[in-house]
Structure formats: C-alpha cells, structure tokens
Amino acid sequence: MSIYCKHFAPILIGLGASLFVPAQAADLQAGEQASVACIACHAADGSTLLPEYPSLAGQGAKYLYDQMLHIRSGERNIPLMAGQLDTMSDETIANIAAWYASLTPRQGQALDMGNLEDGEQIYRAGITEKSVSACTACHSPSGTGNVPAGFPSLKGLSRTYLVQQLKAYREGERTTDERMGGMMRDTAHQLTDAEIEAVANYISGLL
Ligand code: HEC
Ligand code: HEC
C-alpha cells in the first residue's frame, strides 16, 4: 500500500504551537448543561439520527472546540446554528467540547456494496496519480482521527454529512482548514462525485 502525503512537514511544524488541552480544565457537568440547547439537532447522546447533521459523540475535543470557534465567528457559516454560540465564553465552549468528546460514538451503518472497494482503496491508499493523500494518514486506519492534532474522527458521521462536507471543501465553501494549510480543500478538490460517494460510503461503515 502506498501512502501519499505531502502535508506531514507543515503538520509537524504546526503542531507545537496549536496543542490544545481542554480536558485539564474542563467541567463535564457544565458542558452537559450548556449542551441542552443542542439536543434538538445533535441528540442527547450526541449521536443524531438526522443524516444532514453531524454526530458529535466521541469527536476529538480540540476539533470540536476549533469548529465551535469557527461557527461562533461566522468563519463556518451554519444558518441553523445562528445565535447558538454567540454569547458563550471560550470556557463554556471548551466544557461542551469535553462533554461531547466523552460520549460513545454511534455504530457504523449498513453499506452500499456497489462502490465499497473503490471507497476502501481511496481511504487506505489515496489516488496516487492525482496526488490525493490516503485518508488514513490523518484520520487513522480506524477513522478515529488524530485527537491532539485536531484532525477529526470520522466515526459515526452519516454518509450524507460526509458527502456534504467533502463537496463543501471541494467547492471552497468550507475554509476552516485554513490554519492547517488548506489540507482538506487540497484533498477534496481532486475528487469526483463518484469518488466522494464511494469514500463516504466506506467511511460510514467503519465501525
Ligand atoms: C437547529 C439545528 C442545530 C442546533 C440547535 C445546533 N446545531 Fe450544531 N450543527 C447543525 C448543523 C446542520 C451542522 C452542520 C452544518 C454543515 O456544515 O453542514 C452543525 C455542526 C456543528 C458542529 C461541527 C461538527 C463537525 O463535525 O464539524 C459542532 C461542533 C456543533 N454543531 C455544535 C453545536 C452545539 C454545541 C450546539 C448547541 C449549543 C449546536 N451545535 C446546536 C445544526 C444544529
Ligand atoms: C493531511 C491530513 C488529511 C488528509 C490526508 C485527509 N484529511 Fe480530512 N481532515 C483533515 C483535517 C485537519 C480536517 C479538519 C479541517 C477543518 O478544520 O475544517 C479534516 C476534515 C475532514 C472532514 C470533515 C469532518 C467533520 O466532522 O466535519 C471529512 C469528512 C474528511 N476530512 C474526510 C477526508 C477524506 C475522505 C480523506 C481522504 C480522501 C481525507 N479527509 C484526507 C485532515 C486530513
């Protein structure tokens, strides 16, 4: 298996500056209380059944924290979440991140067998001729991501949500990877719709 990854150098250089450790100070109970407003869309156990919405259970705390700051500032524009985080302090957001990170992610869903092999190939080996990196390089072979680096876990995310995000990076609509050198836009802009469907299908059954 060949893993192509041109991003390792900037990641390693960037890591030292961006390490985030909310767990030290996090108050899980306060996080649970503050997340009551989120239940309608993200579910009480953090594993929503609504396919357009992301599950948050078991997601890395640093990733959740970073995304909530992007959502609060409007850098990641989520109209459905308008006003949700506006009045929350960084500390409250860190507590919420720690709360969701402590929950167990949902099991993988049924797979469409048609494009499973193509999806597995992209996930594990990338597409060498198009310089698409293997997803495993950053999201890990089991899909759990790289928690200290803030690379998200993909476990428990629905196929629909995965496809939406990959297309949003591809079209340049989601730019929250800016501080990470644009690595997801770089990866996604090479992918066709069929490749996105295949890799999302494979990932959605990873558990
Ligand atoms: C009305 C529905 C709704 C409510 C309420 C809501 N969210 Fe969301 N949230 C969404 C949707 C939809 C997305 C994904 C949008 C997209 O990028 O496609 C999202 C995305 C997120 C993400 C990014 C997840 C990822 O994997 O990148 C986080 C973190 C998040 N929400 C946290 C919260 C928190 C914390 C609250 C409560 C304070 C909350 N949300 C309330 C709908 C909602
Ligand atoms: C070089 C590292 C790297 C590689 C390779 C990589 N990713 Fe990512 N991925 C990231 C980072 C970092 C983020 C979060 C960026 C941000 O803040 O928006 C991310 C975010 C994502 C998200 C959004 C998750 C969410 O909860 O919203 C999806 C989906 C995703 N990647 C899928 C893939 C797939 C599929 C591949 C392989 C084709 C891949 N990634 C390859 C680093 C990588």
Q: In sequence order, which ranges of 140-182 are alpha helices (DSSP H)?
A: 159-170
Q: Environment class of residue 12 by beta-carbon count within 10 Å: exposed (0-12), middle (13-18) or buried (19+)?
A: exposed
Distance separating alpha carbons of residues 74 and 69, to the nearest angstrom: 8
Structure tokens, 57: 């259970």
Q: Which residue has the higher pLDDT, 206 or 17?
A: 206
Atom of ligand 2 nearest to the CA of 8: 1
Cβ 115 under 6 angstroms from ligand 2: no
Q: Whose CA is nearest to atom 43 of ligand 2?
A: 138
Cβ 48 under 6 angstroms from ligand 2: no
Cβ 80 under 6 angstroms from ligand 1: yes
C-beta atoms surrounding 78 within 10 Å: 13
Q: What is the pLDDT of residue 112?
A: 84
- Provide the CATH number for the domain formed by 17-37+51-101 in this structure: 1.10.760.10
Q: What is the pLDDT of residue 10?
A: 42
Domain positions in the chain are 8-13+114-204, 17-37+51-101
- Provide the CATH number for the domain formed by 8-13+114-204 in this structure: 1.10.760.10
Nearest Cα to 11, choosing from 175, 130, 139, 105? 139
Asked if residues 55 and 47 have their Cβ atoms less than 8 Å apart, the reply is: yes
Q: Whose CA is nearest to atom 16 of ligand 2?
A: 177
Q: What is the pLDDT of residue 3?
A: 45
Tens of pLDDT, residue by residue over 132-180, are 999 999 999 999 999 999 999 999 899 999 999 999 999 999 999 999 9
Cβ 138 under 6 angstroms from ligand 2: yes
Cβ 194 under 6 angstroms from ligand 1: no
The structure's pTM equals 0.91
pLDDT band at 11 (very low <50, low <70, confident <90, very high): very low
Q: In sequence order, which ranges of the chain are alpha helices (DSSP H)?
A: 8-18, 28-34, 39-42, 61-73, 90-101, 116-125, 136-139, 159-170, 183-188, 193-204
Tens of pLDDT, residue by residue over 62-104, are 999 999 999 999 999 999 999 999 999 999 999 999 999 999 9
In the predicted model, what is the mean pLDDT of residues 23-52? 91
Q: What is the pLDDT of residue 20?
A: 54
What's the CA-to-centroid distance between 184 and ligand 2, angstroms? Answer: 5
**Which of the listed residues 35, 38, 165, 174 should we mutate to test ligand 1's pocket, taking the one with most ligand atoms within 8 A of CB?**
38
Structure tokens, 35: 């997340």
pLDDT band at 5 (very low <50, low <70, confident <90, very high): very low
